[in-house]
Amino acid sequence: MHAFVASKGWYDPDSPKPQTPKNLAISLVLEASEVLEHFQWGEETTDKQELASELADVMLYLLQLSSISEIDLGQAVLDKLKTNYDRTWE
């Protein structure tokens, strides 16, 4: 992901797409909304390939946000799963 972002010049100080946590969080939510669009009027998507593309966008923004924020996402997931085993939902 870093090689791709660097190749686009998005790490440059004058980049029109600065890779800040706030900007990446906004982009993550926007992409997640595009996933939701696939289910706006039904329980199934009509275009699985397009859904896969949107899910990939969400994952890429999530990975970039965690990297920029210096968060080990794999460890965060393991920690959250451990916490969730002890939780109950009503």
What are the domain boundaries of the chain?
2-85
The residue-averaged pLDDT of 18-35 equals: 98
Architecture of domain 2-85: Orthogonal Bundle (1.10)
d(CA 24, CA 1): 13
Look at residue 23 and give its three-state secondary structure. Answer: helix
Distances (CA, A) of 84 to 39, 57, 80: 27, 26, 6
Helix axes 73-85, 48-68, angle to 10 degrees: 100
Q: Is the distance from CB of 30 to CB of 62 less than 8 angstroms? A: no
Report pLDDT for 60: 97
Could you report the per-residue pLDDT of 28-57, keeping only the tens digit for each?
999 999 999 999 999 999 999 999 999 999
Report pLDDT for 55: 98
Give the CA radius of gyration of the chain: 16
